[in-house]
């Protein structure tokens, strides 16, 4: 690329395009406001504050739980479980995916297992883990991880299949050590697949963690939602759900998006 091409590539877009872009940016917040408005309107029409609370009552419940120290305590427990199950699922799933993507025998042998676990309902895994391992933390984390591992494996397997053979040949000719090949040839090619698996993984894992907590844990967002449900306290149910959704969105904004930008910096 010549110097002028380089300059053109990094120059800002033309002004009119910038302005149109700014207008588009307003659409997402507008859509959130619209949703809030619809919610508030429906709540006002139904006039059943216990069964269908409006945004204000839910916010009130959030503040109440926050001040009481309950919200952060349960949020913390759920986050810990999500983090543990997520890490376990990513590690094991990636290992299985790479192995199946690279070794034909393992792919053929593993496919029926993968199919089995992909179709196994989350609830069944959870119940069986609690029965076999006991009502302990490890059972909860493993149950969630088992639900996610097949998805990670399938995604990473795609990446492992698509690895560029010509770069492996290059590394072989230059007698590059295996570890360096892993770091500079394999992982950069798998990164987009890891990221895709991680994103869809987080979304799935936290939802299953709530079920696990509901069925057999004495704390966490799932436990709190269960307690509130027994009291028909819909505002508290929504308060915990929204608080955790907020945290997950924060992970997306502060974790995944910067990570993706970093990983894709090399692309033109």
Q: Which residues bind other proteins (CB under 8 A)?
A: 1-2, 6, 166-167, 169-177, 180, 184-185, 188, 265-268
Indicate the residue among 36 and 170 with the shorter CB distance to other proteins: 170
Beta carbons of 234 and 115 less than 8 angstroms apart = no
CB of 176 to other proteins, least distance (A): 6
CB of 54 to other proteins, least distance (A): 50
CB of 109 to other proteins, least distance (A): 25
Indicate the residue among 27 and 267 with the shorter CB distance to other proteins: 267
CB of 10 to other proteins, least distance (A): 11
User: CA 71 from chain center: how many Å?
Assistant: 21
Question: For residues 118 and 219, what is the distance between their CA atoms, to the nearest angstrom?
Answer: 28
How many other CB atoms are found less than 10 A from the CB of residue 189?
15
Indicate the residue among 55 and 192 with the shorter CB distance to other proteins: 192
How many other CB atoms are found less than 10 A from the CB of residue 58?
22
Q: For residue 266, give both structure tokens.
A: 């090399």
CB of 177 to other proteins, least distance (A): 6
What count of residues does the chain have? Answer: 268
Indicate the residue among 45 and 173 with the shorter CB distance to other proteins: 173
CB of 187 to other proteins, least distance (A): 10
How many angstroms separate the first and last alpha carbons of the chain?
Answer: 11
Indicate the residue among 1 and 45 with the shorter CB distance to other proteins: 1
Indicate the residue among 2 and 230 with the shorter CB distance to other proteins: 2
Burial of 212 (0-12, 13-18, 19+ CB in 10 A): buried
Indicate the residue among 191 and 242 with the shorter CB distance to other proteins: 191
CB of 260 to other proteins, least distance (A): 13
Cα four-point dihedral sign 241, 246, 252, 254: negative
């Amino acid at each position: 690329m010549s110097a002028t091409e380089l300059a053109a590539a990094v120059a800002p877009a033309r002004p009119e395009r910038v302005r149109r872009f700014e207008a588009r940016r307003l659409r997402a917040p507008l859509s959130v406001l619209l949703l809030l408005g619809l919610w508030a309107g429906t709540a006002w029409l139904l006039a059943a504050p216990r069964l269908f609370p409006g945004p204000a009552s839910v916010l009130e419940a959030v503040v109440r739980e926050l001040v009481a120290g309950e919200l952060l305590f349960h949020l913390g427990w759920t986050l810990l479980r999500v983090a543990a199950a997520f890490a376990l699922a990513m590690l094991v799933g990636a290992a299985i995916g790479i192995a199946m993507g690279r070794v034909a025998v393992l792919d053929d042998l593993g496919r029926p297992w993968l199919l089995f676990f992909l179709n196994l309902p989350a609830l069944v895994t959870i119940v069986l883990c609690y029965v076999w391992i006991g009502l302990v933390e490890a059972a909860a984390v493993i149950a969630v991880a088992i639900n996610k591992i097949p998805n990670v494996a399938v995604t990473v397997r795609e990446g492992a299949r698509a690895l560029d053979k010509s770069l492996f040949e290059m590394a072989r000719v230059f007698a590059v050590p295996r570890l360096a090949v892993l770091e500079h040839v394999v992982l950069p090619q798998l990164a987009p697949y890891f990221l895709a698996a991680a994103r869809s993984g987080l979304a799935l894992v936290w939802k299953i963690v709530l079920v696990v907590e509901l069925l057999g844990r004495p704390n966490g967002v799932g436990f709190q939602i269960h307690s509130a449900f027994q009291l028909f306290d819909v505002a508290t149910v929504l308060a915990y759900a929204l608080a955790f959704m907020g945290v997950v969105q924060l992970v997306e904004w502060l974790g995944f998006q910067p990570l993706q930008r970093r990983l894709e910096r090399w692309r033109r």
